[in-house]
């Protein structure tokens, strides 16, 4: 006796599958209608998004906040229509990060990553191409050619960038080029550099409140140059060299 299904059996299976699909769709619809009767569903979308933002700020849980988008259809729609929720991509999960960059639309973007693989490098590079909306850049890597590629992406003005952290853990120091950020980041107030540094005459120092530069690339500035640099940072509060 053959174990293969007959045309009649196939038709019956297809009919049952269609019934299952219809019932599942009806159940989803009923759940959505039920959820709309719950008090929290009466909150304006803007309030929901504000609540969701508190979840995003809880960095101890990193990307776990995404579970809120699976609670119900209302929450998912609200989250998808709140670009700021997606503006800190989780680069340790490159596929997710790529989607988050797209969903963040024109929100100010935070690029924070430890670049250890080519896949992470590709997605971080994509994020850095959004120079016009970068808010924070916090990058670490131990591979010099990864740092080269990252810096190549950062040759345009960054009008909203307020924080820059670069950690080059490769044994060779790294000198940032003269066209880094096109020497134009007027809101930049916080710089931390490890085993790499800017030219001491860079205008990026101008509005700093916080400057930390460990293991800077030689040569060190002369005393007169250093005094001139400090004089050009009237708002400086923290200096750690």
pLDDT in tens, 162-179: 999 999 988 888 999 999
Q: What integer pLDDT is reported at residue 177 of this predicted model?
A: 93
Residues 81 and 51: beta-carbon distance below 8 Å:
no
Q: What strand order describes the sheet that includes 210-214?
A: 109-115, 134-141, 163-168, 190-194, 210-214, 238-240
Q: Is 114 part of any domain?
A: yes
Q: What percent of the chain has pLDDT over 90?
A: 56
| pLDDT interval class at 73 (50, 70, 90) | confident
Which is nearest to 125 in space by CA: 117, 175, 57, 107?
117
- Which CATH number is 160's domain given? 3.80.10
The alpha-carbon radius of gyration of the chain (Å, integer) is: 25
Q: What integer pLDDT is reported at residue 60 of this predicted model?
A: 58
For every residue of 147-200, DSSP letters joined together read: HHHHHHH--S--TT--EEEEEE-SSS-EEPPTTGGGG--TT--EEEEESEE--T
| pLDDT interval class at 152 (50, 70, 90) | very high
pLDDT of residue 2 exceeding 60, the answer is no
Q: What integer pLDDT is reported at residue 70 of this predicted model?
A: 83
Q: Is 157 part of any domain?
A: yes
Q: Per the structure, how many domains does the chain have?
A: 1
Q: Is 155 part of any domain?
A: yes
Q: Is 71 part of any domain?
A: no
Rounded Cα distance, 52 and 46, in Å: 10
Q: Give residue 97's domain range.
A: 87-241
Q: What integer pLDDT is reported at residue 136 of this predicted model?
A: 98
Q: What percent of the chain has pLDDT over 70?
A: 97
Q: What integer pLDDT is reported at residue 134 of this predicted model?
A: 98
Structure token digits, residue 109: 């973007």
Q: What is the pTM of this model?
A: 0.82
**Terminal-to-terminal C-alpha distance of the chain:** 84
Q: Is 61 part of any domain?
A: no
Q: Is 205 part of any domain?
A: yes
Burial of 126 (0-12, 13-18, 19+ CB in 10 A): middle
pLDDT of residue 35 exceeding 80, the answer is no
**Average pLDDT of the chain to the nearest whole number:** 89
Q: Is 14 part of any domain?
A: no
Q: Is 23 part of any domain?
A: no
């Amino acid at each position: 006796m053959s174990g293969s299904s007959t045309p009649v059996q196939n038709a019956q299976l297809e009919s049952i599958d269609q019934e299952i699909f219809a019932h599942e769709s009806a159940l989803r619809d009923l759940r959505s209608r039920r959820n709309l009767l719950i008090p929290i569903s009466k909150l304006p979308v803007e309030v929901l998004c504000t609540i969701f933002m508190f979840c995003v700020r809880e960095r101890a849980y990193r990307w776990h906040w995404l579970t809120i988008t699976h609670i119900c259809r209302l929450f998912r729609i609200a989250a998808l229509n709140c670009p700021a929720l997606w503006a800190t991509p989780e680069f340790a999960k490159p596929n997710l990060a790529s989607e988050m960059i797209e969903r963040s639309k024109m929100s100010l973007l935070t690029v924070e990553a430890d670049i250890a693989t080519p896949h992470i490098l590709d997605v971080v590079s994509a994020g850095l191409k959004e120079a016009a909306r970068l808010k924070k850049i916090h990058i670490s890597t131990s591979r010099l050619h990864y740092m080269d590629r990252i810096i190549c992406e950062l040759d345009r003005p960054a009008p909203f960038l307020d924080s820059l952290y670069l950690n080059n853990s490769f044994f060779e120091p790294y000198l940032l080029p003269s066209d880094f950020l096109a020497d134009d980041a007027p809101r930049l107030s916080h710089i931390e550099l490890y085993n790499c540094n800017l030219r001491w005459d860079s205008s990026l120092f101008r509005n700093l409140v916080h400057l930390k530069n460990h293991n800077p690339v030689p040569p060190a500035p002369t005393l007169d140059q250093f005094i001139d640099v400090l004089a050009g940072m009237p708002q400086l509060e923290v200096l750690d060299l």
